[in-house]
């Protein structure tokens, strides 16, 4: 799996991808992914790619992901890999949610993630299958998996 820097309109051509987008492209992104299955990710103040900050491009990784909304991640029955968890950075439940995930799954996963949203105001910042929601987790293949 390799990350790509893309224009927002190119996101519509992706299949099964995690997308990190800057808040400046939120309206265009919503239009581009409306109803599109297999696209999940978050919106942030800006995105980093190859040592530069972008406010008009998205970063995408295509691969074989399992995506879960909110508490669905509690039912994950996997023995390893990486768990990418994105939460609404303004959520008052973010810390509790992460604690619950770790108590349930322990050291089964390598954990990565962050809080999405805007530094200025509250926005819909996480999306799964073309619709925006409060939390998103994705089980990524382990480095030893093929693909």
Closest CA to 61 of 49, 72, 77, 69: 49
Residue-wise pLDDT tens for the chain (147 aa)? 799 999 999 999 998 899 999 999 999 999 999 988 888 899 999 999 999 999 999 999 998 888 877 778 888 777 778 888 888 888 888 788 888 888 888 888 888 888 888 888 888 888 888 888 666 666 655 444 444
Token pair for 103: 């108590």
Token pair for 34: 């409306």
For β-strands 58-62 and 3-6, DSSP reports them as antiparallel
Contact 139, 63 (CB under 8 A): no
pTM: predicted TM-score of the whole model, two decimal places: 0.83
């Amino acid at each position: 799996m390799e990350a790509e820097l893309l224009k927002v309109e190119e996101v519509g051509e992706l299949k099964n991808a995690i997308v990190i987008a800057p808040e400046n492209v939120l309206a265009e992104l919503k239009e581009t992914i409306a109803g599109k299955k297999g696209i999940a990710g978050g919106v942030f103040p800006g995105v980093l790619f190859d040592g530069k900050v972008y406010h008009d491009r998205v970063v995408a990784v295509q691969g074989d992901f399992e995506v879960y909304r909110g508490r669905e991640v509690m039912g994950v029955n996997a023995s390893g890999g990486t768990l990418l968890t994105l939460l609404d950075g303004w959520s008052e439940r973010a810390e509790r949610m992460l604690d619950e995930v770790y108590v349930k799954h322990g050291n089964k996963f390598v954990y990565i993630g962050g809080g999405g949203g805007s530094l200025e105001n509250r926005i819909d910042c996480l999306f799964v299958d073309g619709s925006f929601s409060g939390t998103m987790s994705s089980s990524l293949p382990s480095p030893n998996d093929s693909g």
